[in-house]
Amino acid sequence: MRTGLFVCLLLLLPLFGAVSATTAGGITVDAEDINIVGTLENGSQVIVEITLHNSDTSDITASYQLSQGGNVIQDSTFVTVTASSSITVQVPTVLTHAGDISFRVDFSANGVSNDQSALFTISDRSNLIVSELTIDPSSDLFSGTTFSANAQISNVGGVSAGSTTVTFELGEEAPLDYIVASLPPGESVWINRTFTAPASEALLTVTANSNSNDGVLESNSSDNIRSTMIEITTPPNYFHDGEITVTSSPSSLRGPWDISGSLLRMPSTGSVVVPMQVQRVSDASPVHAFSVDFLDGQSSIFWNETLTGSMFIENVGEIQLQVVIDPSFTLPESSVFDNSNEFSIMMYPAPNVVVSSIAVASPLQVQSGESVNFTVSIQNTGSIPVSGTVEATFEGESLSGQFRVIPPPSSTESGDISLVFSAIARGDISGTQSFTATWNPDNPSHDSNSADNTA
C-alpha cells in the first residue's frame, strides 16, 4: 500500500459586516412604511407617506430621498427622529406612469446609507391631445374671408376617453365648443370649424377636454392645448388704367363696337380670375360679362371685348355704359371705389341719300355729235358716311357709273357732292333727249327712302 500525501488548503474568505436591508445608523424603513394616499391612477395627485423608525435611545438626524420609477421626486431632506419613536413624512407628487411602479426611499443616518422600495400597481387613464392643427387656406388670408380650422384630437392614453368637449377660440371672439364622442386609446378624430378672418392677426387656440364637468380624467392635462397665429394679409386692389377705348366702323349704325382697356392690380402675387361686367350706367343692368386672368407676378393685363347690337334694346342714340370690376364682390379687395370706368356708344338712325330731281344739262342745246354734260347733286342727310354708285343713262344708253363715299354733314363737311356725266348727242331730227341718274347704295339699310334717289 502506497502512502498518500494529503495537502489541506485553507481558504480565507473576506468577512463583511452585515447591514440590515432596511436599517441604516439606527433608522429603519420597511416596505410597509411606504404608502400612497390618493387614487392610484396615472396622472393622479397623491401623497407618498414614509415612516422612519428610531430604535436607539437617543435622537437621530437622518436624511431621505424619494424616487418614482427611477426619477427623483423629493431631493435629500433632513429630519430628526426622536429616541425610540417613529416619524411619518409626506411627499406630494403626481403619478406619472401606469403599471407596476417602484417607489424607492434612499435614507442615511450616522454615516450609514440604505434604501427601501415598495411596488405599487398604477392604473392608466386616457390622455387627449391636439395632435394636429391646420389652417385652410394656410396663407393669403384676407380680413372678412372664411377659412377652415382643422384639429385632430388623439387619445394617447391607455384607456378610452369618455365623451368630452373640444373648444376653439379665435382672438377675442366667443369660444366655439364641439362634443367628441368616446375615443378608444390610440385613435383620433378630426374636427373642422369655419371662421371669418378678423381685421388683424389673432391667436387660434384649440383645447381638448376643455370642460371639467365632462368628468374625463387624464394622465396628463398639460398637453391639451395647441395654438397657431392667424396672419391677415392686406388684400390686393384692382383698378382701371386709363379710359375705355371704343372703336367701330365709321359706317356702322348699331355696332359692333370693340371696347378695350387695361386692368391693374397691386400687389401682383398669386393667380386669380377677375370677373368683369359691362353695365348700363342708368340702372347697373348687365350687358356683357367677361373675365381677366392674372398669372402669379402679373400686375397689368390689356383686355379687349366686342359688343353687338343684339345686346341692346335701343335702336338710336347715345348709350352710357360702364365696365365694372368684380360686380358681385366675390374677390377680396382693399378698395372698391375705383372699380368702374364709364364710356358710351352711339347708335345712328338710317341715313337718307337725296338725289336732286333735276340734272342740269350744259349746254341745253347741242347739235348731233356734240358733247353734253349733266350735273347731278347728291346729299347725305344722315349721321354716318354712305357709299354707293350712281348709274346713269342717256337716251337708253348706259354711261359709266361713278362710285362715291359721301360723308355726313359736319363742321367741316357739307354732306353734298356733285357728279358730272358726259354724253354725245346723236339724232337726225330735232327733239328732246332724256338723261337719268340713280343712286344705288352699297348697303340698302343706309338709305331710308329710295324714292328720292333719281335725277
User: pLDDT tens, 101-143?
Assistant: 999 999 999 999 999 999 999 999 999 999 999 999 888 788 8
Is 14 among the domain residues?
no
- Among the candidates 101, 122, 143, a domain finishes at 122
| pLDDT tens string 381-429 | 878 888 889 999 988 888 888 998 888 888 788 878 888 998 888 877 6
Residues spanned by the domain of 49: 23-122
Quote the pLDDT of residue 48. Answer: 97
Rounded mean pLDDT of the chain? 88
| pLDDT tens string 247-268 | 988 878 888 999 999 999 988 8
103 and 47 share one domain: yes
Is 13 among the domain residues?
no
- Among the candidates 122, 149, 179, a domain finishes at 122
Quote the pLDDT of residue 206. Answer: 94
Determine the 3-state secondary structure of 142 from DSSP: coil
At residue 4, what is the residue type?
G
- Among the candidates 347, 366, 387, a domain finishes at 347
112 and 139 share one domain: no
Is 7 among the domain residues?
no
Contact 253, 445 (CB under 8 A): yes
Quote the pLDDT of residue 21. Answer: 54
Determine the 3-state secondary structure of 32 from DSSP: helix
Q: How many domains does the chain have?
A: 4
Quote the pLDDT of residue 153. Answer: 95
Is 3 among the domain residues?
no
Determine the 3-state secondary structure of 416 from DSSP: strand
Quote the pLDDT of residue 135. Answer: 92
118 and 220 share one domain: no
pTM over 0.85: no
Instruction: Give the position of cell 347690337.
Output: 309
Is 287 among the domain residues?
yes
Quote the pLDDT of residue 2. Answer: 40
Which of 32, 159, 144, 151 has its CA nearest to residue 98? Answer: 159
Q: How many Å apart are CA 394 and CA 437, to the nearest integer?
A: 9
Contact 292, 303 (CB under 8 A): yes
- Calculate mean pLDDT across residues 32-57: 95
Partners of residue 427 on adjacent β-strands: none
Contact 373, 359 (CB under 8 A): no
